Amino acid sequence: MSLSRRLTLTAVVAALVAAFILGGGALFSTRALFDRYVQRTAGTRQQVLVDAVATYYRNNGSWQGVDSILRDFPLMGPGSGVGGRGRMMGPGAVAPGPGGPGSGGTDFGSGDPGGASGGWNRFGSAPGRAAAGTWALLDENRKVVARSPGTLDPGSGLPAGLRSPLQLPVRVDGRTVGHLLLSSELSGLLGSVETEFRRSILTWILVSALVALGLGVLAGWLSSAGLRRRANALALAAAAVGGRRFEARVEDTESDELGQVASSFNRMAAELERSEQARRHLLADVAHELRTPLAVLRGQLELLQDGVTQPDPATLGALNDDVLRLSRLVGDLEQLSLAEAGRLTLHWQAFTPGTWLGQEVEVFREAAADQGVRLSLETLETLPSQVEGDPDRLGQVVANLLSNAFRHTPPGGTVTVAAGARPGGWGFTVRDTGEGISPEDLPHVFDRFYRAPRRGGSEDARPEPDRHRGSGLGLAIVKGLVEAHGGRVTVESQPGQGSAFAVWLPLRAGTGGHGGTPPSRTSTLPPAR
């Protein structure tokens, strides 16, 4: 089932459930309240009826002729009770009896508001119509003196609808003179207006439920249409990225969950595009770096084969230099790929950073003297006595940074190595007084095969021979090794004022963000960021 159909079906089910709960609750509560209202109204009507019957007996002294009167009362017979034979028999009213009209009988319609004028009578029934009912009037000896027309029960002699009657005693001056029996069914107590009211309530509830259902279907369809369009856009973009078209993006500016997915997808596609570009550049750079030394080797070997040159020590030394350069380049590429893939093996151990750093710097004393550069080491008292890491890999970091500093520092300059505690760890800084790095080159110094153009010196200065230049992988390897230890490396530089490379490392393995303390002395770290 498609997403749009699921959403539409969900909206329809939700609308049905809401309509059922709200409509059922409204119908139940309305019926309960209305039934209580009818019961109270019926009690009032019954009391008025009992009072009217008691008044008839008080005025006449017997039940003679009461049959003709009761048949016209609302809830007790088919007569209208308005403007005809019906008489209002409430307290203080006098039924027509021996005294006739002149004895104080009150016409049913003339005294009540709306009686003969077409309004409502006192008993709540519609003008011109009395609700039908089943009733019987018994005297004090429980003998039937009047009853509603209809089939009689052979056993009791009462109307068939009075099997479980509502018995209302009729008292006159504290003495029970009769019993009025009425049907106890609620349907017998409802007038036409009450019945119509209940029907209208049920009708409107049903109509409201249908309207809610229709609106739910419409809302579900509209919302699913928008979601379907956005989901389709995501699917198409994902298919494009799967086809290596990494420039595909999703144009979704909403801030909801689906919009966040689209934003995450766009970031992923951008990262994949950058990775693909880096891969292509890497292949091109490797081919370029290998082409020159291979061409030199081929040319020199061809000269040897043709007998143009002799295999003397100078020629063989030049060939050996080119082979060593190729070996270093291949080794650097291998280390860099292992570091970036997270498969670089580190041999963790505890060591003394001050002693270790002194030994690493001492290796470059002779090279610094030959180049005319002053090399100094500053170890602060805050340097920890023991740290954890791979001293050989970290020594490679120091070597690469020092080689880079010597390469860009002219004779008479200074290279300083300073070590000490850092917030949350320890570290060291390699600072030189060389040519510095321009602001446009600074963000790229840790990129693979990136070599900033040489600055400084006169325009007539001869460029550095290619065989003595770096491969452009040293700083990238530095970054990979430092991040493999859970640390980070940063650079600050100003053109003409030198550069400073700062390395921060955690005190213990696993406290810097890449993996935890290794279970053995050898571990494979996750990919460097």
Tell me the whole-structure pTM to 2 decimals.
Answer: 0.47
Contacts of 420 (CB under 8 A, 6+ apart): 379, 380, 382, 383, 426, 427, 428
Residues 11-68: tens digit of each pLDDT: 777 777 877 787 777 777 777 777 777 778 777 878 888 888 898 899 988 898 888 7
Q: Note whether 356 and 486 are same-domain residues.
A: yes
What angle (nearest 5°) sits at the alpha carbon of residue 336, between those of residues 276 and 271? 25
For the chain, how long is the longest CA-to-CA vector?
164
Tell me the one-letter amino acid at 193: V
Asked whether residue 173 is domain-assigned, the answer is: no
Q: Note whether 332 and 393 are same-domain residues.
A: no
223: its two tokens? 């919302």
Q: Note whether 369 and 305 are same-domain residues.
A: no
Q: Note whether 353 and 336 are same-domain residues.
A: no
Q: Note whether 265 and 367 are same-domain residues.
A: no
Strand-pair partners of 314:
none
Asked whether residue 529 is domain-assigned, the answer is: no
* CA atoms of 123 and 46, how far apart (whole Å): 9
Which pLDDT does position 186 carry in this prediction? 46
Q: Note whether 500 and 428 are same-domain residues.
A: yes
Q: Note whether 103 and 18 are same-domain residues.
A: yes
Tell me the one-letter amino acid at 383: L
Structural domain tally of the chain? 3
Mapping DSSP to helix (H, G, I), strand (E, B) and coil, where does residue 436 land?
coil
Of 317, 341, 365, the residue at which a domain comes to its end is: 341
* CA atoms of 470 and 274, how far apart (whole Å): 25
* CA atoms of 122 and 113, how far apart (whole Å): 8
Asked whether residue 91 is domain-assigned, the answer is: yes
Q: Note whether 25 and 42 are same-domain residues.
A: yes
Q: Note whether 423 and 434 are same-domain residues.
A: yes
- Residue 226: in which H helix or E strand, if any? helix 192-242
Which pLDDT does position 470 carry in this prediction? 54
Which pLDDT does position 522 carry in this prediction? 36
DSSP string, 22-56: HHHHHHHHHHHHHHHHHHHHHHHHHHHHHHHHHHH
Asked whether residue 239 is domain-assigned, the answer is: no
Q: Compute the half-sphere exposure of residue 436: CA atoms within 13 Å on the CB side of its CA.
A: 11
Of 320, 341, 362, the residue at which a domain comes to its end is: 341
Of 341, 370, 392, the residue at which a domain comes to its end is: 341
* 324 close to 296: Cβ distance less than 8 angstroms: no
Q: Tens-of-pLDDT digits for all 529 residues of the chain?
A: 666 677 777 777 777 787 778 777 777 777 777 777 777 877 787 888 888 889 889 998 889 888 877 776 654 443 333 323 333 333 333 333 333 333 333 333 333 333 333 333 333 333 333 334 688 899 998 898 888 888 888 877 888 877 778 888 999 988 999 998 887 654 445 556 667 777 887 788 788 778 877 887 787 777 777 777 888 888 888 999 888 888 888 887 777 888 888 889 899 998 888 878 877 877 777 787 778 778 888 888 888 888 888 888 888 888 888 788 788 778 777 777 777 666 778 889 999 999 999 999 999 999 999 999 999 999 888 899 999 999 999 999 999 999 999 989 999 999 999 999 988 899 999 999 998 998 888 888 888 776 665 554 433 333 344 434 456 778 888 998 999 899 999 999 989 899 999 999 998 755 444 433 343 333 333 333 3
Q: Structural domain of residue 491, as residue ranges? A: 343-454+469-524
Strand-pair partners of 351:
387
Asked whether residue 382 is domain-assigned, the answer is: yes
Asked whether residue 147 is domain-assigned, the answer is: no
Which pLDDT does position 114 carry in this prediction? 33
CATH code: domain of residue 353: 3.30.565.10
Q: Note whether 365 and 486 are same-domain residues.
A: yes
Buried b (16+ CB within 10 A) or exposed e, 388-407: bbbbebbbbbbbbbbebbbb
- Residue 427: in which H helix or E strand, if any? strand 425-432
Which pLDDT does position 518 carry in this prediction? 42
Which pLDDT does position 2 carry in this prediction? 67
Which pLDDT does position 96 carry in this prediction? 37
Asked whether residue 231 is domain-assigned, the answer is: no
Asked whether residue 152 is domain-assigned, the answer is: no
CATH code: domain of residue 304: 1.10.287.130
Q: In 3D, which of 381, 370, 367 has the Cα closest to residue 418?
A: 381
Q: Note whether 31 and 90 are same-domain residues.
A: yes
Q: Note whether 417 and 326 are same-domain residues.
A: no
In the chain the first and final C-alpha atoms are separated, in Å, by 41
Residues 418-435: tens digit of each pLDDT: 999 988 899 999 999 998
